[in-house]
Chains A and B, each alone.
Chain A
Amino acid sequence: MTGLSLVHAGRPARGMTARGYGAWLGVLGLLLVWEALAHVVSGAFVLAAPTEILAYLVEDRGLVTRALGVTLGNAALGYVFGNLAAIALAALALLWPRSERIVTGLALLVYCLPLVATGPILRVLFGPGAGPQITLAALAVYYTTLIPLLVGLRAAPAGWFDLVRSYGRGRWSELVHVRLMASLPYLFAGLQIAAPAAFLGAMVGEFTGAERGLGVLTVRAIRALDVDMTWGVATVATAVAILAYVGLGMIARRFLRDAPPVILAAPASDTVRDSGSGWKAAIGVTVIALAGWALAFWVFDLNPFFAKGPMDVLDALLLAEDAGATRGTLAVALSETAVYLLPGYFAGLAAGAGLAMLLVLVPVIAGTAMPLAIALRSVPIVTTAPLVVLLLGRGATGTIVLVAVMVFFPTFVACLHGLRQAPGQVLDVFDSFAAGPVSRLVRVRIPAMLPAFFAAARMAVPASVLAVTVVEWLATGAGIGSLMAMSASLSDFDMLWSSVVLVAAISALGYALVGSVERRILRVYAPEQLT
């Protein structure tokens, strides 16, 4: 499977019962420490003990169950629509290969839209109801299904296609006999990651002004400084997300022979080989996005008070009398966000890669850490944002930590996997020279890790922007997330739309920037990974 940075984890070994008991004991120990700690700091209003969470959930079970039902329903609808959209886009790219760059570029741009601002905009466009939550859930999932699916549809060895062609059959037979089955593990991996993501999207949609749902309860609990309720709702959200992930994993294992792929990012494209096509695609994507945006206003005849077209945003940013002031406000907000975002992003990358390297030096732990890390990666970190804010305060620390945690898990999983991909025979050569573990790490394993690391770093850009804007929106009162929250509540739709456009553009540019660093480095260390 050369040319892909989508790689497979081995099936976990059988006979893990002893380790299984160990895990349960670990969870029990953690709960006890948590309980004790909560009682020690009980006056500080930051940490609820497991027993207090349980007490809250029992007491308010009616309220929480109803809210959960609403959120689950919205998440499920968004999950279905988002994944259907992903499959349709993948089919388009497959049937018309020249459209693939435009399709993936537009998909990335839409994925980079800040959910916290898209929420209120959708709210005014849809009117009352569950439309925005469902749309946000769909927006949160379609990209992470589309990308692995596209890779999966190409994942088959060349020999399989030669076989089909040697009997005079064409692309349709390739699709039916080879691509569909070969892409199933990738599709399931995407669907599995999508389950908690849909739940997260629905909750973020509820943060931004719904009437019912767990997100509404979260906002209410934070406003009321109700520690037990904040923790209770976050616990339910996290548990449901993990259960959805595990449940889909079990369904996938019934269907599949191979374990699903671990790293869900498309390989970097080698723009040197087909020079200029990257720029052409970027310009094409921008033009189509702007045209689609303008067309939507014309077709749906939207209310110009809250619906702004490309010209309105251009006007607000460049031509209007107060354009200078608008730009100033945005610049201040963006620079505040950068102070949270950049340290968090790089700390998350460093911690993920660093811990993976440390673990590889102790191989026994690495084997156990992998399944745990894959499971934790699925936790929608943003649903725990209220807890991080409670624990670490509304200042910079909490936000930076949350961004770092958001980046940490996917990076850690990817790096651990990449480090273990190091070719065994090369390691044997190093053994034969009696090279120490550090030398093996630096000279063999880290180069082998680079493709996975960069794939994770690229995908972490939109994820970290999502994290930072959500925390700013909910709690910190600074940065672009807070500016969007304020603009939404003051009905300053010029400012809101301008922020959305800027955040999406910066996010997509960040993704492209990481991609270009990636290409430079992989061209030296892993040229076979570039497509």
Chain B
Amino acid sequence: MAPDVTPPPEIICSGLAKTFDGRTEAVRPTDVTFHAGQTTALVGPSGCGKSTLLRMVAGLEAPSAGQLLIGGMPPAETLQNAALSIAFQDPSLLPWRTVRGNIALALSLARRPVDDAEIDQLISLVGLDGFAEARPAELSGGMRQRAAMARALVTRPGLLLLDEPFGAVDELTRHQLAQDLPRIWEARGTTTLLVTHSVTEAVLLSDRVIVLSPRPAEIIADIAIPLDRPRESGIERSPDFGDLTDAVYAALSRGMTLDRPPLAAQ
């Protein structure tokens, strides 16, 4: 494969915070660095603000306070260079475009030439051989997620943002997707941020798990995942894996009972 168009960036958040409508606190001032080429999982209860954190990194949401640098640049510049891709829980495929057309859309949005051979290779890589000309309505939920992932990967982004990418599919499909797809971005050494509320998925896919409190989000624990890659099927049953998930669960429980004064009182 050709080298990545953009090198994997390091992301530095300093005092990054988000408040909606001047009232609802989503993210408390946060200092954290996401290392280049690593996969970092953000874990927390539903509605805790982890997606808001991800959307700020994606440049889709402006921070209320603090600073965010992606590879030393503000998010707006990263966006202009089309150096990041995002995949959501909802595959967000355009229904009037084929699988190929949806993948090609990312290239034209990123102002890159549309390379059919590259698209075909990626379609094959995500396991959609023979469905290049199918429209989203003709695909199963898992196949749509594969297509969305191919679209996210086709621009060879240095930074990949995943917001519950396997959240909307059934458990079996989810397991299969979590086995197949991460190999692609792991092989490329992409900086990856993964938002999930599945502890198993977080430990399985990442080099580091950051546990967030219920809303407003605050970092409760920062747990390194020193498991060897590639992680084979069945690793979930190893004692090391069990210890790591236990640590994440313990941090999540601590977060649930955390007694915090409102921000104004601090």
Contacts and interface: CB of A to CB of B under 8 A. Distances in A.
A166 B90 contact: no
A135 B90 CA distance: 46
A159 B76 CA distance: 19
Contacts of A165: 59-60, 79
A227 to B, nearest CB: 52
Nearest to B106: A167
Interface residues of B, number: 26
A167 B110 contact: yes
A258 B94 CA distance: 13
A160 B92 contact: yes
Given A162-B58, A181-B96, A257-B135, 6 more contacts: A159-B90, A167-B106, A168-B82, A168-B110, A173-B109, A177-B109
19 contacts: A157-B90, A160-B92, A160-B94, A163-B92, A164-B109, A165-B59, A166-B59, A166-B60, A166-B85, A167-B106, A167-B110, A168-B80, A168-B81, A168-B82, A168-B110, A169-B109, A173-B109, A177-B94, A177-B109
A131 B186 CA distance: 69
Given A168-B80, A181-B94, A159 B110 contact: no
Contacts of A416: none
B60 to A, nearest CB: 5
Contacts of A160: 92, 94
A67 to B, nearest CB: 42
A257 B94 CA distance: 12
Contacts of A452: none
A223 B250 CA distance: 89
B64 to A, nearest CB: 19
Contacts of B96: 181, 257
Q: Range of interface residues on chain A?
A: 10 to 19
Interface string A152-182: 0000010110111111110001000110010
B79 A162 contact: no
B88 interface: yes
A211 to B, nearest CB: 47
The residue in B76, B84, B85, B94 that gathers the most chain A C-beta atoms within 10 A of its C-beta is: B94
A167 B76 CA distance: 10
A177 B109 CA distance: 9
A159 B59 CA distance: 14
A164 B84 CA distance: 12
A177 B101 CA distance: 11
Contacts, number: 54
A467 to B, nearest CB: 38
B86 interface: yes
Nearest to A256: B96
B72 interface: no
B94 A178 contact: yes
Nearest to A166: B86
B95 interface: yes
Interface string B96-130: 10000000011001100000000000000000000
Interface in A312-328: none
Contacts of A162: 55, 58, 60, 86, 88, 92
A168 B137 CA distance: 27
A389 B20 CA distance: 60
A167 B82 contact: yes
Contacts of A178: 94
A254 B242 CA distance: 56
Given A177-B105, A257-B137, A166 B94 contact: no
B90 A168 contact: no
A160 B94 CA distance: 7
A162 B85 CA distance: 11
A168 B84 CA distance: 9
B137 A166 contact: no
Contacts of A257: 95-96, 135, 137
A94 to B, nearest CB: 19
B250 to A, nearest CB: 34
Interface in A499-515: none
B111 to A, nearest CB: 8
A163 B147 CA distance: 14
Contact of A166 (B76, B81, B84, B135): B84
B5 to A, nearest CB: 13
Contacts of A173: 109
Contacts of B81: 168
A258 B136 CA distance: 13
B109 to A, nearest CB: 4
A258 B59 CA distance: 33
| Shortest Cβ-Cβ A-B pairs, 3 listed | A168-B79, A159-B92, A167-B109
Nearest to A258: B95
Nearest to A181: B96
Contacts of B155: 167
Contacts of A167: 79, 82, 106, 109-110, 155
A166 B81 CA distance: 10
